[in-house]
């Protein structure tokens, strides 16, 4: 028995929204009994993109995070439903029964990811089914099929040979907040964290300072990471958590410099001037 | 007929964004899927580079909007019946001033055709040749039979209509500027890109996307095919720099560094890069010596020997806002790395649509030349053209004339006509070099305020000199325009300062306006009579993905597999809508030239079969098999011989690429000699001989290219103090111009495209920096008035760091024109941002547009 799951590599998503549109094409005005009733023309986003913009101009990073039903192993929507209107199949897919779920608005509210939508006309909660009707034909979900950057990877988590199983086994993936406790079956690579960046300048010549050693130390742990500036004098440390840090700059012929940062949101230091040693 | 597992019929069709399988049940389209290649289709190419093998996915990575096709076909905005404006009475008062306000009533096709035929006869007989005007929108559908260069040209050519010439709105600066420097007239000013993907994978060390967003603009028709190419380059460690006023969708995953020069100052930044190379001696001197003409004169300008000030990085910092040290660092990195300059994603780019964008395009060629353009890993390459393909296989592009075989009005080159698709190629007596013309940007002035003069006619695919010819309207011996047969409704969204258009439509100087359109939008709602057309899913056609030959030879190298599609009629036309060909045939019947137009009664499917026969398809597949399968993937020649563009030029050899231009004699024959470009000197002309011959004192497009500050920018102090935000309006990410926008499409729900507000309307997005927003009390999602002296457009603000302080960004080309009061005079809540942009020519002697030189102010909307 397959155990379906998805890995989403956020660093590859180019925000084309093809997944978002293809999902509407597959489900608008199309019933797939007994798994899903037709999606209305507008207003439901079984596959949605959440934008995360970090930094300040001109040091900006942007990610679009595809969010869909996570087909949780410990799904709050299953618990919230009456009459077993929401159930988890042996292959891992969570289905809202389009007949039994009529009138059960609490199913929408149960989802920590806001991935369930209320169909006002049909009085029905609706969401992604991993395109179970396509899986039955040996096809992959529509959103995965149309993803040009292969940011969406789908497959059998129980089969160690599949890409999804290999990536999950690498332990580089994580679940999205806030529903980690529900044990989602959608795994993410490259979830945006916090960064510290800056542009180092030789104060005497006003040239970009290339090859400057930059050391980041987290004050609570004393743990350090090193990098060096590129040809634009730029450096960055990404994937950080909140907390107090110090950033130390070292360069032959120039005085060292240390900057203390209380990191709460992404920090771009702007131009960091180095003073020439006499 | 293929059937799906669920019992649906499966058809094939093609869109502006790629080929689709179309699923149909009970006469209704149920869903679409991108075309996927099967095991029996031709093999994919494999490129070996740096120890790896690269091969594309075996499916059509179609454009995002192509997947929204079903919402566009079944749109509540479809025009299902012929319509007549309620207060239009051709026998009495026409009430032209009520166009856009008085509403419509349904009429029969008989009545509609009667009105139309009588008006055409009246106008022709009263005023003579040239009195009927026509022009179509572009890209609303796909195919070689039903599309505008084909059916419309055939019909309008016989009718002898004046044609509104389209301008090269995506690549103006290349067309009116770079063409004078490196030739490529037969490619409308754009260089070829053969085998540059392989060259980049093997040799490139850096890509600079300058005013370029290939993830959004797709090499025009390539959908998302090239995303994997850029991913491979990234995996290979190729450094990527983005120069754009917007942290765009290519920057998103690929930028190692982002530069955002102030709009209109890109040329200053380029000049400063050249200054670094000249003063530090870090350019390819030998190449310049062999391949450049007029370099010393230009060098004198850069070094300040000509005008007294050097184009240093410090000077450029003041113009551009980019730190001088970073300009120097970029110049030095460029000089030490083999660099592909992706300037404009289809060799277009926003900077080529600014005031004097001609100069920017010329500077891009200059910079590339200084680093040995054509040598391995060093070229102008957009990152979305140049896949290995079979270039010998003949299948026409949509702009080659189709069933009209109108060679004169094919924009550039053509092969189709030589294949004999029609017994009677069309030659219009009016839309002819000796006839009457109107340039699109100047249309309202021509109608409302004749006479008008300008230089150049639409796409000048013959030679650079073609651009320089003087035209006037009305042309001697021709009538002024009295009737306008418009196809589609896009121009309020796509042209500039477009309240002019609305005023033109509401003038009695146009006695009769008919619009043939699929959707009720834009200009359609300003017509007297509306003829409902259908989409290419409701009729027969045949087309090749991304093949726009006639504009650009071999443009299909933007996709991974040459794919020719039988565009099957999937469903019956909705309501009483008809195929364009059938509408033209019906009008031709009333006017007495049905036999001539239809060549004795041929249907669209008959033409499709004829077209199939004159291509190279029958050498590979029978009609029966093609009809059954629905598409054909053109196999690669074996062995494949790679001929990177301009390598021959860099090496001083004869051109060995499959490019077939130039085709003429005279000067244009010289390139057949060893290593010559199609310029007067055969070299890259830093001093353009064609411009020198034309007018050495034209300071707006001088023989030696210069940085010329914008007429609407930070130097225009009075205007700038009133309207302190510089607005750029690039081609959109989620629609193809106006196509797929509006129409109650799913695209409207993408929050980067439109934002739904409490009143249920989807508002057009304008992006602004958080500091600018805060100063004006604007929060993300607020409705705002974007305004200047030309117009007010109501948009939804997106507050972001992806646009620098002092700038605003909004995509051009909204389909919806929805004025809240008197049309042409009141704020638009549809989102036609081009109501705000200037209509001044890009340069006084070049009739291109410059919408990215636009100043606005933004205020929070209070109601």
Summarize pLDDT for A56-84 with one digit per residue, the tens: 999 999 999 999 999 999 999 999 999 99
Helical ranges in chain A per DSSP H: 18-27, 76-80, 106-110, 132-135, 142-146, 163-169
pTM above 0.80, yes or no: yes
Report the pLDDT averaged over residues B285-310: 97
Q: How far is B334 from chain A (nearest CA, A)?
A: 11
Residues B65 and B205 in one domain: no
Is the pLDDT at B834 greater than 90? The verdict is: yes
Which residues have C-beta within 8 Å of that of residue B118, sequence separation ≥ 6? B90
Say if the Cβ atoms of A60 and B805 lie within 8 Å. no
Q: What is the mean pLDDT of chain B?
A: 95
- Give the pLDDT band (50/70/90) at residue B672: low
Whether the CB of B268 is below 8 Å from some CB of chain A: the reply is: no
Q: Best residue in A21, A24, A197 to probe B by mutation, most B CBs within 10 Å?
A: A21
For B602-624, how does the pLDDT look when each residue is reduced to its tens digit (9 = 90+)? 999 999 999 999 999 999 999 99
**Quick check: B575 pLDDT over 50?**
yes
Residue B488 lies in a domain: no
Tell me the average pLDDT across B449-476: 91
CATH number at residue B300: 3.40.228.10
Question: Domain coordinates of chain A in residue numbers?
Answer: 4-188, 194-274
Residues of A in contact with B333 (CB under 8 A): 231
Measured distance CA(B365)–CA(B352) in Å, rounded? 13
> Per-residue pLDDT averaged across B60-64, rounded?
98
One of B147, B194, B301, B398 is an active-site residue; which one?
A: B398
In a domain, B112, yes or no: no
Residue B353 within a domain: yes
Above pLDDT 70, what percent of chain B?
A: 98
Final residue before a domain boundary, out of B385, B412, B440? B385
How many angstroms separate the first and last alpha carbons of chain A?
73
Instruction: Give CA–CA dist A85/A102, Å, rounded.
Output: 9
- Say which of B325, B751, B800 has its CB closest to residue A206: B325
The answer to whether B37 contacts chain A (CB < 8 Å) is: no
Cα gap B776→B858, rounded to integer Å: 8
* pLDDT at B665 > cutoff 50: no
Total domains in the fold of chain B: 3
Residue B400 within any structural domain of the chain: no
What one-character-per-residue DSSP string does A165-230 give? HHHHHTT--BPPTT-GGG--SEEEES---EEEEEEEEETTTTEE-TT-EEEEEETTT--EEEEE--
| CATH code for the domain of B768 | 2.40.40.20
Reduced to 3 states (helix: H, G, I; strand: E, B; else coil), residue B772 is: helix
Tens of pLDDT, residues B71-102 = 999 999 999 999 999 999 999 899 999 999 99
Which chain B residues contact residue A51 at CB under 8 A? 751-752
B257 touches chain A (CB under 8 A): yes
User: What are the chain B neighbours of A41 within 8 Å (beta carbons)?
Assistant: 71, 744, 746
Tokens at residue A37, please?
């009733």
The pLDDT value recorded for residue B671 is 54
Interface test with A, best of B19, B20, B31 (most A CBs within 10 A): B31
Task: Give the closest-approach CA distance of A74 to chain B in angstroms.
Answer: 31
Nearest CA in chain B to A42: B746
Pair (B367, B235) in one structural domain: yes
SS3 content of chain B, % helix, strand, coil (to 5): 30, 20, 50
Q: Which residues of A touch B328 (CB under 8 A)?
A: 207-208
Mean pLDDT computed over B289-299: 97
Q: Comparing C-alpha atoms, which of B819, B99, B796 is closest to residue B498?
A: B819
Neighboring chain A residues of B68 at a CB cutoff of 8 Å: 21, 24-25
Q: Assess B738–A contact: CB distance below 8 Å, yes or no.
A: no
How far is C-alpha B444 from the geometric centre of its chain's CA atoms?
21
Q: How far is A27 from chain B (nearest CA, A)?
A: 8
CB contact (8 A) between residue B67 and residue A25: yes
Residue B20 · residue B566 · CB < 8 Å: no
Span A231-239, average pLDDT? 98
- Residues of chain B contacting A230 with CB distance shorter than 8 Å: 256
CA–CA distance, A154 with A4 (Å, rounded to integer) = 7
The string of pLDDT tens digits covering residues A104-117 is 999 999 999 999 99
**Which chain A residue is nearest to residue B247, measuring alpha carbons?**
A60
> Which region among A126-140, B193-207, B421-435, B544-558 has the lowest average model confidence (pLDDT)?
B421-435
How many angstroms separate the CA of residue B62 from the nearest CA in chain A?
8
Among A16, A149, A163, A8, smallest CA distance to B228 is for: A149
B139 is known as an active-site residue? yes
Interchain contact B734–A (C-beta under 8 A): yes
Q: Specify if B568 maps to a domain.
A: no
Give the minimum alpha-carbon distance from B329 to chain A in angstroms, rounded to a whole number: 6
Per-residue pLDDT reduced to its tens digit, A165-175: 999 999 999 99
Cβ atoms B794, B861 nearer than 8 A: yes
Q: What is the CATH number of the domain that holds B22?
A: 2.20.25.340
- Annotated active-site residue in B124, B139, B293, B554: B139
**Position B82 in a domain:** no
In this predicted structure, what is the pLDDT of residue B1? 66
With CA atoms as reference, the chain A residue closest to B328 would be A207
The pLDDT value given to residue B434: 87
Cβ-Cβ contacts under 8 Å for B171 (sequence gap 6 or more)? B188, B189, B190, B344, B346, B347, B348, B349, B352
Q: Which fold has domain A194-274?
A: Immunoglobulin-like (2.60.40)
Q: Find how far residue B758's CA is from the centre of its chain.
A: 34
**For B249, which of A14, A29, A206 is closest by C-beta distance?**
A14
Q: What is the percent of chain B with per-residue pLDDT over 90, rounded to a whole number?
A: 89
Q: Which of B51, B50, B38 shows the shortest CA–CA distance to B10?
A: B38
- Residue range B765-811, pLDDT digits in tens: 999 999 999 999 999 999 999 999 999 999 999 999 999 999 999 99
pLDDT tens digits, B201-259 = 999 999 999 999 999 998 899 999 999 999 999 999 999 999 999 999 999 999 999 99
Size of interface A-B (CB pairs under 8 A): 139
Ramachandran region, residue A241 (left: φ > 0; alpha: ψ -120 to 50; beta: rest): beta
Residue B669 has pLDDT above 90, yes or no: no
Select from B30, B62, B325 the Cβ nearest to the Cβ of A207. B325
A50 to A64, A108, A115, B750: CA distances (angstroms): 5, 19, 12, 11
Distances (CA, A) of A13 to A9, A25, A189, B233, B459: 7, 20, 11, 16, 37
Q: Which of B276, B241, B267, B235 is nearest to B255 (CA)?
A: B241
Q: Tell me whether B747 touches chain A (CB under 8 Å).
A: yes
Long-range residue pairs from B37-40, CB within 8 A, at least 24 positions apart, any chain: B37/B561, B37/B633
**Length of chain A, please?**
278
C-alpha distances out from residue A57 to A141, A190, B357, B694, Å = 37, 22, 25, 44
Helix axes B313-320, B324-336, angle to 10 degrees: 120
CB contact under 8 A, A16 and B64: yes
pLDDT in tens, A197-228: 999 999 999 999 999 999 999 999 999 999 99
Burial class from Cβ neighbours inside 10 Å (0-12, 13-18, 19+) for residue B150 reads buried
The CATH class, in words, for A4-188 is alpha beta
CA–CA min distance A26, chain B (Å): 6
Phi, psi (degrees; rounded to nearest 5) at B799: -90, 125
Quick check: is B403 in a domain? no
What would the pLDDT profile of B349-376 be if each residue is shown by its tens digit?
Answer: 899 999 999 999 999 999 999 999 999 9
DSSP state of B262: P
Chain A residues within an 8 Å CB radius of B247: 57, 60, 62
Question: Is the Cβ pair A60, B802 closer than 8 Å?
Answer: yes
Q: Give residue A183's pLDDT.
A: 96
Q: Which residues of A touch B734 (CB under 8 A)?
A: 17
Report pLDDT for B666: 44
Q: Is the dihedral of CA B351, B355, B360, B361 positive or negative?
A: positive
pLDDT at A92 over 70: yes
Strand partners, B737: none
Q: Which of A30, A137, A208 sits opposite B329 (nearest CB)?
A: A208
Range of the domain at B60: 2-39+53-73
Q: What distance in Å separates the CA atoms of residue B124 and residue B143, rounded to the nearest whole number?
A: 31
| Averaged pLDDT for residues B506-513 | 98
Among B364, B385, B406, which residue terminates a domain? Answer: B385
CB within 8 Å: B30 and A11 = no
Q: How many CB atoms lie within 10 A of CB B76?
A: 9
Length of chain B: 863
- Expressed in angstroms, the distance from the first to the final Cα of chain B is 57
d(CA B338, CA B395): 35
pLDDT classification of A278: cutoffs 50, 70, 90: confident
CB contact under 8 A, B260 and A58: yes
Q: For chain B, how long is the longest CA-to-CA vector?
A: 78
Do residues B67 and B202 both lie within one domain?
A: no
> So what's the pLDDT on residue B424?
84
Q: What are phi and psi for residue B726, nearest 5 degrees?
A: -90, 115
Band of pLDDT at residue B725, cut at 50, 70 and 90: very high
């Amino acid at each position: 028995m397959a155990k379906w799951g998805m890995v989403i590599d956020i660093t590859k998503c180019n925000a084309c929204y093809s997944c978002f549109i293809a999902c509407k094409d597959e489900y608008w005005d199309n019933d797939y009994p007994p798994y899903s009733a037709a999606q209305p023309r507008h207003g439901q986003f079984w596959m949605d993109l959440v934008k995360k913009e970090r930094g300040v101009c001109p040091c900006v990073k942007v990610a679009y995070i595809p969010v869909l039903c996570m087909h949780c192993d410990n799904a709050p929507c299953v618990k919230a439903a009456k009459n077993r209107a929401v159930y988890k199949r042996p292959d891992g897919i969570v289905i809202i029964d389009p007949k039994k779920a009529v009138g059960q608005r609490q199913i929408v509210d149960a989802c920590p990811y806001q991935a369930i939508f209320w169909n006002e006309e049909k009085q029905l909660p609706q969401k992604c089914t991993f395109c179970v009707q396509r899986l039955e034909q040996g096809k992959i979900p529509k959103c995965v099929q149309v993803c040009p950057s292969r940011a969406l990877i789908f497959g059998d988590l129980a089969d160690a040979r599949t890409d999804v199983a290999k990536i999950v086994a690498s332990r580089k993936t994580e679940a999205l907040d806030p529903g980690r406790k529900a044990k989602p079956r959608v795994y993410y690579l490259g979830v945006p964290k916090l960064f510290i960046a800056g542009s180092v300048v030789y104060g005497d010549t006003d040239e970009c300072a290339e090859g400057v050693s930059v050391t980041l130390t987290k004050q609570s742990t004393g743990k350090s990471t090193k990098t060096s500036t590129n040809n634009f004098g730029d450096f960055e440390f990404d994937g950080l958590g909140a907390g107090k840090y110090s950033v130390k700059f070292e360069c032959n012929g120039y005085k060292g410099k240390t900057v203390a940062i209380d990191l709460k949101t992404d920090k771009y230091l702007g131009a960091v001037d180095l003073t020439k040693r006499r | 007929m293929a059937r799906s597992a669920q019992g649906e019929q499966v058809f094939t069709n093609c869109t502006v964004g790629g080929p689709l399988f179309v699923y149909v049940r009970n006469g209704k389209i149920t869903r679409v899927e991108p075309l996927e290649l099967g095991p029996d289709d031709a093999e994919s190419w494999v490129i070996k580079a740096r120890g790896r093998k690269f091969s594309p996915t075996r499916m059509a990575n179609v454009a995002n909007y192509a997947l929204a096709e079903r919402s566009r076909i079944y749109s509540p905005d479809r025009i299902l019946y012929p319509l007549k404006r309620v207060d239009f009475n051709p026998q009495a008062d026409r009430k032209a001033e009520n166009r856009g306000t008085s509403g419509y009533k349904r009429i029969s096709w008989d009545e509609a055709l009667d009105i139309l035929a009588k008006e055409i006869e009246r106008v022709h007989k009263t005023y003579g040749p040239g009195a009927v005007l026509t022009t179509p929108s572009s890209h609303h559908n796909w195919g070689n039979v039903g599309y505008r260069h084909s059916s419309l040209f055939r019909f309008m050519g016989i009718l002898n209509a004046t044609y509104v010439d389209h301008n090269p709105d995506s690549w103006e600066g290349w067309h009116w500027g770079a063409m004078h420097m490196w030739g490529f007239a037969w490619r409308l000013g754009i260089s070829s890109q053969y085998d540059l993907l392989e060259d980049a994978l093997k040799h490139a060390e850096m890509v600079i996307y300058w005013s370029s967003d290939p993830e959004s603009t797709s090499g025009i028709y390539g959908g998302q095919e090239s995303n994997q190419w850029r991913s491979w380059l990234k995996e290979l460690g190729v450094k990527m720099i983005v120069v754009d006023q917007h942290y765009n969708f290519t920057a998103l995953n690929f930028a190692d560094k982002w530069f955002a020069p102030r709009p209109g100052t890109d040329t200053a930044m380029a000049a400063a890069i050249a200054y670094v190379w000249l003063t530090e001696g870090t350019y390819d001197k030998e190449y310049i010596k062999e391949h450049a003409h007029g370099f010393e004169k230009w060098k004198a300008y850069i070094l300040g020997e000509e005008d007294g000030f050097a184009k240093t990085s410090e000077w450029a910092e003041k113009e551009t806002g980019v730190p001088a040290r970073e300009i120097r660092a970029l110049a030095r990195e460029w000089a030490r790395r083999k660099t592909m300059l992706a300037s404009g994603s289809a060799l277009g780019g926003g900077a080529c649509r600014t005031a004097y964008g001609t100069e920017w395009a010329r500077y891009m060629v200059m910079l590339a030349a200084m680093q040995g353009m054509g040598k391995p890993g060093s070229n102008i390459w957009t990152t979305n053209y140049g896949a290995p393909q079979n270039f010998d296989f003949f299948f026409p592009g949509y702009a080659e004339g189709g069933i009209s075989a109108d060679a004169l009005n094919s924009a550039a080159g053509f092969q189709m006509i030589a294949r004999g698709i029609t017994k009677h190629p069309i030659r219009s007596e009016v839309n002819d070099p000796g006839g009457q013309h109107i340039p699109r940007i100047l249309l309202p002035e021509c109608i409302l305020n004749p006479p008008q003069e300008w230089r150049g006619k639409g796409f000048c695919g013959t030679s650079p000199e073609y651009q320089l010819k003087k035209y006037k309207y009305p042309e001697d011996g021709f009538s002024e325009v009295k009737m306008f047969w418009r196809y589609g409704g896009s121009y309020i969204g796509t042209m500039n300062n477009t309240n002019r258009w609305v005023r033109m439509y509401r003038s009695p100087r146009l006695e009769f306006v008919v619009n043939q359109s699929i959707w009720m939008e834009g200009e359609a709602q300003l017509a007297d009579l509306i003829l409902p057309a259908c989409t290419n899913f409701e009729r027969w056609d045949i087309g090749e993905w991304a093949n726009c030959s006639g504009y650009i030879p071999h443009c299909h190298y933007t996709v991974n597999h040459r794919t020719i599609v039988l565009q099957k009629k999937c469903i019956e036309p909705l309501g009483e809508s008809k195929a364009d060909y059938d509408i033209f045939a019906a009008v031709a019947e009333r006017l007495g030239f049905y036999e001539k137009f239809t060549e004795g009664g041929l249907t669209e499917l008959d033409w499709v079969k004829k077209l199939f026969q004159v291509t190279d398809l029958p050498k590979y597949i029978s009609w029966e098999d093609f009809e059954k399968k629905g598409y054909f993937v053109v196999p690669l020649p074996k062995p494949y011989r790679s001929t990177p563009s301009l390598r021959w030029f860099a090496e001083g050899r004869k051109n060995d690429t499959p490019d077939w231009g130039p085709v003429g004699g005279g000067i244009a024959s010289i390139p057949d000699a060893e290593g010559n470009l199609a310029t007067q000197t055969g070299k890259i002309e830093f001093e353009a001989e064609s411009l020198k011959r034309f007018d050495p004192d034209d300071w707006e497009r001088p023989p030696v290219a210069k940085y010329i500050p914008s007429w609407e920018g930070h130097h225009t102090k009075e205007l700038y103090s009133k309207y302190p935000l510089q607005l750029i309006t690039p081609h959109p990410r989620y629609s193809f111009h106006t196509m797929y926008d509006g129409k109650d499409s799913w695209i409207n729900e993408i929050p980067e495209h439109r934002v739904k507000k409490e009143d249920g309307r989807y508002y057009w997005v304008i992006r602004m920096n958080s500091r600018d927003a805060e100063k004006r009390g604007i929060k993300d999602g607020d409705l705002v008035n974007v305004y200047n002296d030309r117009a007010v457009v109501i948009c939804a603000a997106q507050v972001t760091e992806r646009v620098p302080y002092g700038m605003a960004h909004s995509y051009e080309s909204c389909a919806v024109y929805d004025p809240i009061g008197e049309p042409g005079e009141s704020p638009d809540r549809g989102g036609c941002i081009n109501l705000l942009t200037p209509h001044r020519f890009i340069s006084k002697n070049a009739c291109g547009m410059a919408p990215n030189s636009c100043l606005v102010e933004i205020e929070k909307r209070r109601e």
